[in-house]
Amino acid sequence: MNGPQDLGGMMGFGPVRPEADEPVFHGEWEKRALALTLASAALGEWNMDMGRHARESLPPHIYLSVSYYEIWTRALANMLAERGMVTAEELAAARQLVPPVPTKKPKADKAQVAAALAKGSPYDRQVDQPARFALGERISTKVMHPATHTRLPRYARGKTGEIVAVHGAFVFPDSHAHGLGEQPQWCYGVKFSGRELWGPESDAGLEVIVDCWEPYLQDRAA
């Protein structure tokens, strides 16, 4: 989907100003927001791609006006409500009012958390088919505007670039975000010139590498 998170090359948002010695969290509530999101995801009711899609599906006027972790908490509230895990009344009251509903996985014991976080959630997969494209090959990205989730940014669609990395096969987020299975696909690092992406007035020395799943790509002649 073409959501508010897809800002590459857009004007009017001002320069990006990195914060010197930026802390991991700017407030105690941000730690809690991250912990609640991870703990809720561990109940097995959604996967990582569903969570990202929920954040990117927030209305633009909200997504662009709130902080990073408020995006997380708003998306989490939506996912919990959609699955009947929290009621509107509970959200308004900020406390539990009805008994919790059963979930696919039980809540994690405190002693299990460190091991679970260390293990992570690897998304690389083995596939039977060989990679369609090779290092150094020139390819084009497809012009696509799906209403569903995608990781191909809007500014990189319908552009020509060079394969500079073959990462391997990974879970395909476009299907995984909608409960359609992992459908693993080969993923490539594709290098584009700034002028290819944003025209002749772009910085001549600018290059952008975008990780692209194979279904996003086609031969230049296609």
Q: Residue 221's pLDDT is what?
A: 62
Q: Where is the domain boundary, 94, 119, 144?
A: 119
Both 161 and 191 in one domain: the answer is yes
Helices (H), the chain: 28-41, 48-56, 60-63, 68-82, 88-93, 110-119, 173-176, 194-198
Residue-wise pLDDT for 61-113, tens only, equals 999 999 999 999 999 999 999 999 999 999 999 999 999 999 999 987 878 88
Q: Residue 111's pLDDT is what?
A: 80
Both 146 and 211 in one domain: the answer is yes
How far apart are the C-alpha atoms of 159 and 18, rounded to whole Å? 29
Phi, psi angle pair for 65, to nearest 5°: -115, -5
- Give the torsion sign (CA, 134, 189, 144, 52): positive
Q: Which domain holds residue 39?
A: 28-119
Q: Residue 171's pLDDT is what?
A: 98
Both 108 and 129 in one domain: the answer is no
The dihedral formed by the CA atoms of 77, 3, 31 and 98, expressed in degrees to the nearest 10: 0
Percent of the chain with pLDDT over 90: 84
Q: Residue 109's pLDDT is what?
A: 80
Q: Residue 160's pLDDT is what?
A: 97
What CATH number is associated with residue 179?
A: 2.30.30.50
Query: Residue 164: what residue type?
Result: V
Place of tokens 């002649």: 221
With contact defined as beta carbons under 8 Å apart, do 218 and 139 qualify? yes
With contact defined as beta carbons under 8 Å apart, do 29 and 73 qualify? no
Q: Residue 147's pLDDT is what?
A: 93
Phi, psi angle pair for 209, to nearest 5°: -110, 120
Q: Residue 222's pLDDT is what?
A: 55
Which of the residues in the chain have pLDDT under 50?
none
Q: Residue 7's pLDDT is what?
A: 87
Q: At what angle do helices 68-82 and 28-41 cross, to 10 degrees?
A: 30
| 23-54 burial: b if 16+ Cβ within 10 Å, else e | eeeeeeebeebeeebeebbbbebbbebbbbbb
pTM: predicted TM-score of the whole model, two decimal places: 0.91
Both 198 and 166 in one domain: the answer is yes
With contact defined as beta carbons under 8 Å apart, do 192 and 156 qualify? yes
Both 111 and 159 in one domain: the answer is no
Q: Where is the domain boundary, 119, 150, 182?
A: 119
Q: Where is the domain boundary, 119, 137, 162?
A: 119
Please give the DSSP secondary-structure letter assigned to residue 138. E
What CATH number is associated with residue 51?
A: 1.10.472.20
Query: How many structural domains does the chain have?
Result: 2
